[in-house]
Amino acid sequence: MIIMKFGGTSVGSAARIRNLKNILAKNREEKVVVVSAMSGVTDLLIKAGKLSQVGDKKYLNEYVNIRDRHISVMEELFKERLENVETLLEELLNILKSIEVLGELTPRALDTIASFGERMIVRIISEYLNRSGIKSAYIDANSFLITTDEFGNASPIYAEIEKRANNIFNKDLFPKETTPIVTGFIGSTKDGRITTLGRGGSDFTATILGRVLAAREVWIWTDVDGVMTADPRITEDAKPLPYISYIEAAELSYYGAKVLHPKTLSPVMEKNIPVRIKNTFNPDFPGTVIVKRVRKDKNIIKSLTYIKNLSLVSVNGRGMLGVPGIAARVFKSAWKSKTNILMISQSSSEQNICLVVKKEEADNFIKCLKEEFEREIEKKEIEGVLKEDGIAIISVIGAGMKGTPGIAGKVFSTLGRHGINIIAIAQGSSEYNISFVVKEREVKEAVKALHIELGLSLDKEGIKVVEIVQFGVGKVGKSLIELILSERKRIEKEERIRIVYRGVLRSNSYILGEETEKYIKEKDFQFPNKGKPNLSDFVKKRNTVFVDVTNSDETTDILIDALRYGANAVTSNKKNLVKNFKTFKSLTSSHGKFYFETTVGASLPVIKTLLNLMETGDKIKKIVSLPSGSLSFIFYHLNRGKDITDAIELAMKLGYTEPNPMDDLKGTDILRKTLILARIIGKKLELSHIDFEEFVESNSLEEFRKTEIRSFRDRINKMREGGFVYPVSRIEGRKVKVSLEVFSKNSEFYNLKPGENIFLIYTVRYKKNPVIIKGIGAGPLITASGVLSDILRIGREI
């Protein structure tokens, strides 16, 4: 026999009830059915009760709401109303009215009111099944499910239940072909007063019945595909778990996963009755099976849960040091005030004890604590009992954590990267869960981040999320966005790094947050926000990468801030790196990771190589380079006799130059790159220390043509007599120079192809034959790919 429990959403409308009938009709095995009230009805009942207690006539609205929902379901299913349901509706109204008169709502009365939802729906469902050809009869569980008298949260008394259930479900009295439809959630004291098993308690009813009737399995039908890796309402990529152990499922529900009532598993655990969670919207899906032991699998962590609406209560004071019995007295106060303590932590200095309790229980608890410690408070041994609201507990659950080191480290480093502050930690001695306290407003982000990075959203290992905030959508910026959009699936698969955009800023508008993704896909880059963006949330996160692909000199401060607080940065913008040396130092020796490979030689591995050489103990003696694609191109043609104007025009046509080609021809770009290279190899230099004269003086092509072209031609032609002319950057000892030089046939420069950069690196180890890096190093796509490579490097390292 199977116990099948259907939750509120599975009986929430006429259509859902028809669906329930189809599910029952399909399964031929003997069944006992347990049902919850229609979704939302228990909430309405409790609300109506509370309103009538304070004499608020709005309770009548809630009542009408409850009544209409049931009437409309009946009319849809039967085209008429059921008398027994109408009788209950009348009874409910009378109770509410008398509560209004008495002005008192005892827990006992509230349980009676709350019981109506289940009692009405079993009548409707049973009647509907009978009319559809499935023989059934309803049973109000208060006729057999005897409980303690803790109204609102009663516990079953099995001996009594067994006696009565064996009578009711006796095969002679209750023929096998008739399916019982039992109210979930409710029970009764021995003397016949209705109790409830706590909110969501129908799951518990089902397993209590499973136990006393020795069912083969208990099936909990709900509105999701099973127990999931996290609450699907906040984590879109939560996935159902095929198997999970009793202990894991119990921890999950205890720590807040609404899918099961926290006590659901206790009745069936020792009897080894499997519990299956299935989806009425997807009945053929196997769902989750909860059994005693599950095969060990790779996923040590099974699921994440959270409990919101909590308060942190702390008892503080030096007087607690070494005084025995303080903790015991704290617990006594909890017991006295009927406060449920969800978590406790004591600092090693014993100067404070922190307790996490439900928000609605906090004030009463504090009152009791203050009474208990009145004397100590007076003597100032205890300085205060404090409360902080807006607290939540997040739990990471999985039986495999027992004896597996490193899980806690992984959890906390993930949270650290996302800038989430952990207020307190507790690892249950069972080692089946790690729980920690955070601010309630950080729950969503924490759960989402952990879900991905602990590998719950996938079958294999975890994925790291890198969040990008990008400055600039010029040529390089646009290329970078396109590149990331087209490559990120592959990157996620191969590198297990997920790149998401969390902000794009341009000079006059910006977008920040999850919405950014939508905007970058639309590609017109018209952003809704103006003014000064607030980046404070982003600079704290260790998985944020600020990407500067502008040409502006106003981004430096934000990069410095981000790097100082722990975020990371990648820049292709040289201007950040050529301000004074102090600024360079702040950028490169901060907390966060900072890469700028593309500022010299675009995507050629120049900076990386220098750093690698130095890391292994080599010393850089000399760098001779031509770090400019546009000048390499222009001079290639000059060296072969082309006229300067033709060479410039050709370079412009092919997109090799800046919009104003004089910006290239002056040589200032090479000057900046030289300074960056020099600083990287440890020289404390400023731009003004470099021996440099602009190659040309004109500020525009027109001016150049008018006033300078002749002398320039003459100068170059004169130099060409000795070989090929190229602009060169030389860094050697304290001498740093940028100038035009002549190279003879046997020089590396002589054989440069048009547009090629070259870097000759001489070190102690590479004294005679330098390390040579040569190749095309320009263009938005090449630069963007270099920027992406820096981003991925950070992704691998964080």
Question: From ligand ASP, Mg ion, ligand ADP, none, which one binds at residue 185 (CB under 5 to 8 Å depending on kind)?
Answer: ligand ASP
Q: Which stretch binds Mg ion (CB under 5 A): 2-10, 51-59, 109-117, 728-736?
A: 2-10
Q: How far apart are CA 730 and CA 631, in angstroms?
A: 16
Question: Quick check: 426 and 343 in contact, CB under 8 A?
Answer: yes
User: Can you give the length of the chain in residues?
Assistant: 798
The total of other beta-carbon atoms located within 10 Å of residue 552's CB is: 15
Q: Which stretch binds ligand ASP (CB under 6 A): 50-58, 67-75, 146-154, 200-208?
A: 200-208
Question: From Mg ion, ligand ADP, ligand ASP, none, which one binds at residue 555 (CB under 5 to 8 Å depending on kind)?
Answer: none
The total of other beta-carbon atoms located within 10 Å of residue 756's CB is: 19
| The two three-digit tokens of residue 192, written as one number | 């016949």
Would you count residue 606 as binding ligand ADP (CB under 6 A)? Answer: no
**Minimum distance between the CB of residue 598 and ligand ADP, rounded to whole angstroms?**
44
At residue 353's C-alpha, the angle toward residues 352 and 359, to 5°, is: 125
DSSP 13: S
Residue bearing tokens 């996923």:
299
Find, among 150, 160, 165, 162, the residue nearest to 201 by Cα. Answer: 150
**Chain centroid to CA 752:** 50
Interactions with ligand ASP, residue window 539-598 (CB under 6 A)? none
**Minimum distance between the CB of residue 229 and ligand ADP, rounded to whole angstroms?**
7
Residue 60, C-beta contacts closer than 8 angstroms, at least 6 positions apart: none
Provide the mask over 6-45, with x wherever binding to Mg ion is found by CB under 5 A and - wherever it is not. -x--------------------------------------
Q: Which stretch binds Mg ion (CB under 5 A): 104-112, 117-125, 194-202, 210-218?
A: 194-202
Looking at 140, 149, 160, 223, which residue binds ligand ADP (CB under 6 A)? 223
| The two three-digit tokens of residue 754, written as one number | 């048009």
Would you count residue 259 as binding ligand ADP (CB under 6 A)? Answer: yes
Question: From ligand ASP, Mg ion, ligand ADP, none, which one binds at residue 201 (CB under 5 to 8 Å depending on kind)?
Answer: ligand ASP
Would you count residue 184 as binding ligand ASP (CB under 6 A)? Answer: yes
Would you count residue 303 as binding ligand ADP (CB under 6 A)? Answer: yes
Question: From ligand ADP, Mg ion, ligand ASP, none, which one binds at residue 257 (CB under 5 to 8 Å depending on kind)?
Answer: ligand ADP
Provide the mask over 588-617, with x wherever binding to Mg ion is found by CB under 5 A and - wherever it is not. ------------------------------
Question: From Mg ion, ligand ASP, ligand ADP, none, which one binds at residue 705 (CB under 5 to 8 Å depending on kind)?
Answer: none
Burial class (CB in 10 A: 0-12, 13-18, 19+), 545: buried
Burial class (CB in 10 A: 0-12, 13-18, 19+), 213: middle
Would you count residue 201 as binding ligand ASP (CB under 6 A)? Answer: yes
Question: From ligand ADP, Mg ion, ligand ASP, none, which one binds at residue 199 (CB under 5 to 8 Å depending on kind)?
Answer: ligand ASP
Instruction: Measure Cα distances from 136 to 133, 141, 167, 176 in Å.
Output: 9, 15, 17, 10
Looking at 200, 472, 627, 777, which residue binds ligand ASP (CB under 6 A)? 200
Question: Quick check: 366 and 387 in contact, CB under 8 A?
Answer: yes
Would you count residue 690 as binding ligand ASP (CB under 6 A)? Answer: no
Question: From Mg ion, ligand ASP, ligand ADP, none, which one binds at residue 9 (CB under 5 to 8 Å depending on kind)?
Answer: ligand ADP
The total of other beta-carbon atoms located within 10 Å of residue 103's CB is: 10
Would you count residue 286 as binding ligand ADP (CB under 6 A)? Answer: no
| The two three-digit tokens of residue 341, written as one number | 């303590």
**Minimum distance between the CB of residue 278 and ligand ADP, rounded to whole angstroms?**
10
**Minimum distance between the CB of residue 547 and ligand ADP, rounded to whole angstroms?**
35
**Minimum distance between the CB of residue 12 and ligand ADP, rounded to whole angstroms?**
8
**Minimum distance between the CB of residue 202 and ligand ADP, rounded to whole angstroms?**
7
Q: How far apart are CA 768 and CA 762, in angstroms?
A: 7
Instruction: Measure Cα distances from 219 to 6, 25, 280, 599 in Å.
Output: 9, 15, 11, 62
| Helical ranges in 316-424 per DSSP H | 326-336, 359-372, 374-378, 407-417
Interactions with ligand ASP, residue window 24-53 (CB under 6 A)? 36-37, 42
Q: Which stretch binds ligand ADP (CB under 6 A): 101-109, 228-236, 358-366, 622-630?
A: 228-236
Looking at 18, 97, 258, 579, which residue binds ligand ADP (CB under 6 A)? 258
Question: From ligand ADP, Mg ion, ligand ASP, none, which one binds at residue 223 (CB under 5 to 8 Å depending on kind)?
Answer: ligand ADP
| The two three-digit tokens of residue 231, written as one number | 């609450």
Provide the mask over 133-172, with x wherever binding to ligand ASP is found by CB under 6 A and - wherever it is not. ----------------------------------------
Closer residue to ligand ASP in complex, CB, 199/239: 199
| The two three-digit tokens of residue 585, written as one number | 């130092």
Question: From ligand ASP, ligand ADP, Mg ion, none, which one binds at residue 42 (CB under 5 to 8 Å depending on kind)?
Answer: ligand ASP
HEC profile of 306-346:
EEEEEEEEEEECHHHCCCCCHHHHHHHHHHHCCCCEEEEEE
**Minimum distance between the CB of residue 112 and Mg ion, rounded to whole angstroms?**
21
Find, among 122, 250, 105, 275, the residue nearest to 185 by Cα. Answer: 122
Burial class (CB in 10 A: 0-12, 13-18, 19+), 83: exposed
The total of other beta-carbon atoms located within 10 Å of residue 482's CB is: 15
Question: From ligand ADP, Mg ion, ligand ASP, none, which one binds at residue 233 (CB under 5 to 8 Å depending on kind)?
Answer: ligand ADP
Provide the mask over 78-117, with x wherever binding to ligand ASP is found by CB under 6 A and - wherever it is not. ---------------------------------------x
Q: Which stretch binds Mg ion (CB under 5 A): 199-207, 263-271, 424-432, 496-504?
A: 199-207
**Minimum distance between the CB of residue 475 and ligand ASP, rounded to whole angstroms?**
58
**Minimum distance between the CB of residue 305 and ligand ADP, rounded to whole angstroms?**
6
Instruction: Measure Cα distances from 618 to 34, 600, 680, 764 in Å.
Output: 76, 21, 14, 6
Closer residue to ligand ADP in complex, CB, 232/775: 232
Question: Quick check: 533 and 503 in contact, CB under 8 A?
Answer: yes
* DSSP string across 165-178: HHHHT-TTTS-TTS
**Minimum distance between the CB of residue 572 and ligand ASP, rounded to whole angstroms?**
57
Closer residue to ligand ASP in complex, CB, 263/451: 263
SS3 479: helix
Question: From Mg ion, ligand ADP, ligand ASP, none, which one binds at residue 180 (CB under 5 to 8 Å depending on kind)?
Answer: none
Q: How far apart are CA 781 and CA 483, in angstroms?
A: 8
Closer residue to ligand ASP in complex, CB, 120/606: 120
Find, among 192, 214, 186, the residue nearest to 122 by Cα. Answer: 186
- What is the total count of residues that contact ligand ADP (CB under 6 A)? 20
Would you count residue 222 as binding ligand ADP (CB under 6 A)? Answer: yes
Provide the mask over 175-214, with x wherever binding to ligand ADP is found by CB under 6 A and - wherever it is not. -------------------------x--------------
Q: Which residues of 707-726 are buried (b: 16+ CB within 10 A; e: fewer)?
A: ebbeebeeebeebeeebbbb
Q: How far apart are CA 353 and CA 316, in angstroms?
A: 7
Would you count residue 200 as binding Mg ion (CB under 5 A)? Answer: yes
Q: Which residues bind Mg ion (CB under 5 A)?
A: 7, 200
Q: Which residues bind ligand ASP (CB under 6 A)?
A: 7-8, 36-37, 42, 117, 184-185, 199-202
Q: Which residues bind ligand ADP (CB under 6 A)?
A: 7-10, 36, 39, 200, 222-224, 227-228, 230-233, 257-259, 303
